[in-house]
């Protein structure tokens, strides 16, 4: 009977020791794992190149500003792409000019035609002073090196406006038949000298 009474406390003590050991090990593992994860996260966060989408630090830094607006002057003409506005500085005023296009009547035609009617839209805004609009000031240079003089109209197809005045936004359409391929639209509002040009591509396929 005496040995039986002693066996009970020993069993209870052993069970408590096992539970305490398990709790201690669990706490140590969770603390150590959390510290390791925090250290790893901190190390990754401290390095921009380690973040998703980050660029390596050894790559050269860009020197050209994104979304900048080019300025075109008689001394420094500007070449842009469709959809980008260009501040054109003129002797009699200043205006923001933007060209988009060309729009073609149909895409996906087969066989691909050698040429197609094209429409460009040029918008003038934020004018300072009066800016004259002369249809002869616009030219198109196609992929084969030929120069075209497009027909200029108002957006509704009527006679084009003759000037841009402060406080008004004016858009015109330029139409011509162009061969497929790359080309350029130029605007020469002063003395026949091109101040701004836009690259374009005629695509039908």
For the chain, domain boundaries: 2-50, 70-202
Residues 66-94, mean pLDDT to the nearest whole number: 89
Please give the Cα distance from 83 to 71 (Å, whole number).
15
Query: Tokens 């002063």 appear where?
Result: 190
Position 139 scores a pLDDT of: 98
Q: Is the pTM of this model over 0.75?
A: no
Concatenating the DSSP letter of every residue in 68-135 gives --EEE-SSS-EEEETT--EEEEETTEEEEEEEEEEE-S-SS-SSPPSEEEEEEEEEEEEEEE-EE--G
Q: Which residue has the higher pLDDT, 180 or 64?
A: 180
Residues 18-27 pLDDT 10s: 555 555 555 5
Residues 32-42 pLDDT 10s: 544 444 444 44
Residues 109-168 pLDDT 10s: 677 788 999 999 999 999 998 899 999 999 999 999 999 999 999 999 999 999 999 999
CATH architecture for residues 70-202: Sandwich (2.60)
Strands 196-202 and 170-179: unpaired
pLDDT band at 2 (very low <50, low <70, confident <90, very high): very low
Residues 95-102, mean pLDDT to the nearest whole number: 96
Candidate from 5-14, 35-44, 153-162, 185-194 with smallest mean pLDDT: 35-44
Position 44 scores a pLDDT of: 45
Q: Which residue has the higher pLDDT, 23 or 57?
A: 57
Candidate from 62-71, 74-83, 138-147, 151-160 with smallest mean pLDDT: 62-71
């Amino acid at each position: 009977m005496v040995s039986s009474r002693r066996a009970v406390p020993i069993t209870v003590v052993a069970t408590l020791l096992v539970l305490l050991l398990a709790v201690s090990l669990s706490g140590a593992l969770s603390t150590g794992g959390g510290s390791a994860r925090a250290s790893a996260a901190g190390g990754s966060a401290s390095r921009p190149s380690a973040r998703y989408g980050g660029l390596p630090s050894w790559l050269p830094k860009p020197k050209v500003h994104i979304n900048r607006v080019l300025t075109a002057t008689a001394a420094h003409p500007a070449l842009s792409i469709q959809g980008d506005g260009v501040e054109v500085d003129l002797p009699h005023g200043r205006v923001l000019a933007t060209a988009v296009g060309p729009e073609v009547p149909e895409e996906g035609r087969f066989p691909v035609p050698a040429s197609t009617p094209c429409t460009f839209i040029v918008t003038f805004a934020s004018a300072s002073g009066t800016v004259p609009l002369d249809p002869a000031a616009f030219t198109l240079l196609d992929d084969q090196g030929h120069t075209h003089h497009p027909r200029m109209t108002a957006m509704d197809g009527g006679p084009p406006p003759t000037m841009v005045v402060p406080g008004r936004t004016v858009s015109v359409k330029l139409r011509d038949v162009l061969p497929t391929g790359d080309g350029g639209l130029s605007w020469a509002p002063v003395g026949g000298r091109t101040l701004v040009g836009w690259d374009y591509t005629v695509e039908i396929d």
